[in-house]
Amino acid sequence: MGGLIAFVVVLLLLVMILLSCIKIVPQANAYVVERLGAYQQTWSVGLHLKMPFLDKVAKRVILKEQVVDFAPQPVITKDNVTMRIDTVVFFQITDPKLYAYGVENPIMAIENLTATTLRNIIGEMELDQTLTSREVINTKMRASLDIATDPWGIKVNRVELKNIIPPSAIQDAMEKQMKAERERREAILRAEGEKKSTVLVAEGKKESAILEAEAEKQSAILRAEAEKEKMIREAEGEAEAILKVQKATADGIRMIREAGADEAVLKIKSLEAFEKAADGKATKIIIPSEIQGLAGLATSMKEVWQ
30-47: pLDDT as tens digits: 999 998 889 999 999 988
On whether residue 252 sits in a domain, the answer given is: yes
51/72 same-domain check: no
Tell whether the model's pLDDT for residue 164 goes beyond 80. Answer: yes
Q: What is the DSSP string of 66-135?
A: EEEEPPPEEEE-TTS-EEEEEEEEEEEES-HHHHHHS-S-HHHHHHHHHHHHHHHHHTTS-HHHHHH-HH
On whether residue 197 sits in a domain, the answer given is: no
109/37 same-domain check: no
Query: Which residues are CB-neighbours of 60 under 8 A, at least 6 positions away?
Result: 29, 30, 31, 32
149/84 same-domain check: yes
On whether residue 199 sits in a domain, the answer given is: no
pTM of the complete model beyond 0.75: no
Instruction: Look at residues 171, 36, 202, 29 and name the one whose alpha carbon lies nearest to residue 99.
Output: 29
Tell whether the model's pLDDT for residue 15 goes beyond 90. Answer: no
277/245 same-domain check: yes
Domain boundary (62, 94, 119) is at 62
47/104 same-domain check: no
Helix (H), strand (E) at residue 56: strand 55-62
Number of CB atoms found within 10 A of residue 11's CB: 10
On whether residue 293 sits in a domain, the answer given is: yes
23/72 same-domain check: no
Domain boundary (166, 183, 206) is at 166
Query: Which residues are CB-neighbours of 17 under 8 A, at least 6 positions away?
Result: 52
CB 87 within 8 A of CB 116: no
* 209-251: pLDDT as tens digits: 888 888 888 888 888 888 888 888 888 877 787 777 677 767 7
Cα angle vertex 169, ends 165, 172, to 5°?
A: 85
Tell whether the model's pLDDT for residue 80 goes beyond 70. Answer: yes
How many domains does the chain fold into? 3
On whether residue 288 sits in a domain, the answer given is: yes
53/87 same-domain check: no
Domain boundary (115, 133, 166) is at 166
* 252-293: pLDDT as tens digits: 667 766 665 556 555 655 556 555 555 555 455 555 555 444
pLDDT for res 13: 78
Domain range for residue 299? 227-305
Tell whether the model's pLDDT for residue 96 goes beyond 90. Answer: yes
Instruction: Look at residues 73, 164, 67 and name the one whose alpha carbon lies nearest to residue 114.
Output: 73
* 151-162: pLDDT as tens digits: 999 999 999 998
Query: Which of helix, strand or coil describes residue 35?
Result: strand
Q: Residue 160 and residue 162: Cα distance in Å, rounded?
A: 6
43/85 same-domain check: no
